[in-house]
Copies of this chain bind each other. A is one copy, B any other.
Amino acid sequence: MRPTVHDIAAEAGVSLATVDRVLNRRPGVKDATRLRVEAAIAAIGFVRDMAAANLAKSRVYPFTFILPAGDNSFMRGLERHVREAMARPAADRVAISLVIVPPFDGAAVARALDAAKVQDPAGIAVVAVDAPEVMDAALRVQASGIPLVTLVSDLGASCRDHFAGIDNHAAGRTAGSLMRRFVGRVPSATETIAVLAGSMLVRDHRDRLEGFRSALSETCTLLPVLEGQDDPAATERLIADLLARHPDVAGIYSLGAGNRGLIAALQRHSGPRPRAVIAHELTPHTRAALEADLIDAVLNQDAGHEVRSAIRVLKAKADGIPAVEAQERIRIDIFLKDNLPFPDEADGKVLRPSGSGSGEN
């Protein structure tokens, strides 16, 4: 049997209450006593049973998550993962309120932040829009002492406590590397590459573009960036036009959403498709396109990981624990047709089992 608080108490010759005070760094213990208890803890190698502690505390962490509306598959997947976390409050003693705001609407996000603030939750997670009014609202949240985490899309580092998302510059570089390799090297000829973004107004898209450019450097010729506003219809028109105008385009990098439009355009296109098509986020659409050989690679951020990480960080911040940033880094997954995970996993509909997580998986 592992040592318990009783064992510490016995070893140190004090009562449970004192042990608890020392354990939780609470005041009201003479230094000498504290030292004795700490010695006892070290001596018998005590490790606190967090499950029991949480049970006794019966503390709940009220968190607010703010997500954009719209039919963006990735965002809806994100929402599903949040709802999943809401559905098992048992596991982590978390009570999440979910707020959906209009997409790409800084004012709406700012209002939602202010509204959340007055509820005084133990923490807020928000898919940020890179606008001044959002930053102001974020600063107000922070000023009121509520931990704030940005999700997927970041704000300035000074306006939030943590960012739960991928390194978008690295993602862009990764896409660039793959593009270079996939397009192939035709000696002494630079290839033409097209980039499709949602909007250069959001930070993650800008970062990806920059990374992509830096990886391709002078290897290829980049056409002017197309902006589809993450809208499938607009995107389809842009891509159809591109394919018509540049039959020789060797690769397309879609760094935003609206991939349904891209896929539709590729499908409708009669000529040979570009040698390399790379997109972001594994959704039912991009998955199908991978399987149908319309897309060659998909870079993905695991929405489930991001949500769970955000929750862990918010809890840590709420408890005043510094939360090891390095451990909460979100990976950039690369998926080809051949290493697609099962639909349930990345894409998924299913809850995790009783155990822990992986992390984690």
Question: Which residues does A use to contact B, with CB under 8 Å?
Answer: 2, 47-52, 54-55, 88-92, 170-171, 173-174, 176-178, 181-182, 184-185, 215, 275-276, 296, 302, 304-305, 308-309, 311-312, 315-316, 321, 323-324, 326-329, 331-339, 341-342, 344-345, 350, 352-361
Contacts and interface: CB of A to CB of B under 8 A. Distances in A.
A241 B353 CA distance: 50
A61 to B, nearest CB: 11
A304 B360 CA distance: 9
A331 B341 contact: yes
A211 to B, nearest CB: 8
Contacts of A92: 355-356
Given A52-B55, A89-B2, A296-B181, A305 B342 contact: no
B338 A173 contact: yes
B305 A90 contact: no
A215 B296 CA distance: 14
A178 B50 contact: no
A167 to B, nearest CB: 9
Nearest to A336: B177
Contacts of A302: 361
Q: A-B pairs with the 8 shortest C-beta distances?
A: A360-B360, A359-B360, A360-B361, A358-B360, A359-B361, A359-B359, A358-B359, A358-B361
B338 A215 contact: yes
Contact of A326 (B305, B337, B350): B350
Contacts of A296: 181
Given A173-B338, A344-B326, A361-B305, A49 B90 contact: yes
Contacts of A2: 89-90
Contacts of A356: 91-92, 308, 312, 356-357, 359-360
A353 B317 CA distance: 13
A361 to B, nearest CB: 2
Given A305-B360, A316-B353, A331 B324 contact: no
B355 A358 contact: no
A357 B353 contact: no
Given A312-B355, A324-B353, A359-B359, 11 more contacts: A47-B88, A51-B91, A174-B338, A181-B181, A181-B276, A184-B185, A185-B275, A304-B358, A326-B344, A327-B350, A331-B339
A170 B339 contact: yes
Nearest to A315: B355
Contacts of A333: 331, 333-334
A329 B49 CA distance: 29
Contacts of A178: 336
Contact of A354 (B50, B338, B350, B359): B50
A360 B90 contact: no
24 contacts: A2-B90, A47-B90, A50-B91, A50-B354, A51-B90, A92-B355, A176-B338, A177-B336, A181-B181, A305-B358, A305-B359, A305-B360, A309-B361, A311-B355, A316-B353, A324-B350, A327-B353, A329-B341, A331-B333, A334-B334, A352-B359, A356-B359, A357-B358, A361-B361
